[in-house]
Amino acid sequence: MSNGSPFLIKICGLSTPETLEAALAAGADMIGLNFHPKSPRYVTLERAKELAAIARGKTEIVALIVDWSEQQAAELAAALNPDWFQFHGRETPEQIAALRRAVRRPVMKALGIATAEDLKAVTGYRDAADLVLLDAKPPKDAAFPGGHGKPFDWGLLGGLDPSQRFMLSGGLDPANVAEAVQVTHPAGVDVSSGVESAPGIKDPHRIAEFIAAARKAAAAGQESSSA
């Protein structure tokens, strides 16, 4: 793991108290609340406040937004008081830096990866964001960002600067997350559709399975690196 920091497991796109409680019970380090209206995981501010009240102090709350202005982001920060912001749009490094100043919280920037060329963008966000989240590029006709349940070629990350701290996302699920951790050595993993029974419907059992598998793989990686 990077810099000896704790391994992070994020369950994104939660939208009900029941599935949020399942994520908390399973030991999620972060939970994501999706404010992109076109996503099947979209939550209103009212619902987000309800979920945040349950999660606060037990896990880190991440607000996911797409191409918002600094004012919009600052207003959400004041209304919801999340621990992190996740930017999942076309935000430039300069915009990310300005947004981070506006929200006054740590921020992560999601970047879509499909080819080795896409990795070149990572360097530009190194100083602007506290963390980068490497996701699969969405299909060209997709209505919303994200990996849409499909992983990218993890072998591409062999070309990444070894000192670059990142979270891995895109097509992860309980069956493949252990391999993903072993291959890519991320600072953490992020999952949404991979723990769902239908688009936007989280499955508590899959959440528990995913977290257990990811945690076991991360622990094994830490043991082998310290041996």
DSSP for residue 119: G
**Which of the residues 135, 161, 190, 203 is marked catalytic?**
135
Q: Using an 8 Å Cβ cutoff, are 72 and 95 in contact?
A: no
Let me know: does 61 contact 85? Beta carbons within 8 Å: no
Query: CA–CA separation, 22 vs 40, rounded Å?
Result: 19
Give the CA radius of gyration of the chain: 16
Tokens of 204: 């508590």
CA atoms within a 13 Å half-sphere pointing along the CA-CB vector of 35: 23
Q: What is the rounded distance in angstroms from the CA atom of residue 115 to the CA atom of residue 100?
A: 28
- Bridge partner list, 196: 202
Q: Report the alpha-carbon distance of residue 154 to residue 146 in Å, rounded.
A: 16
Q: Is 67 a catalytic residue?
A: no
Look up 135 and say whether it is catalytic: yes
Distance separating alpha carbons of residues 97 and 26, to the nearest angstrom: 33
Residue 12 burial (CB count, 10 A): 26
Residues tagged active-site: 12, 135
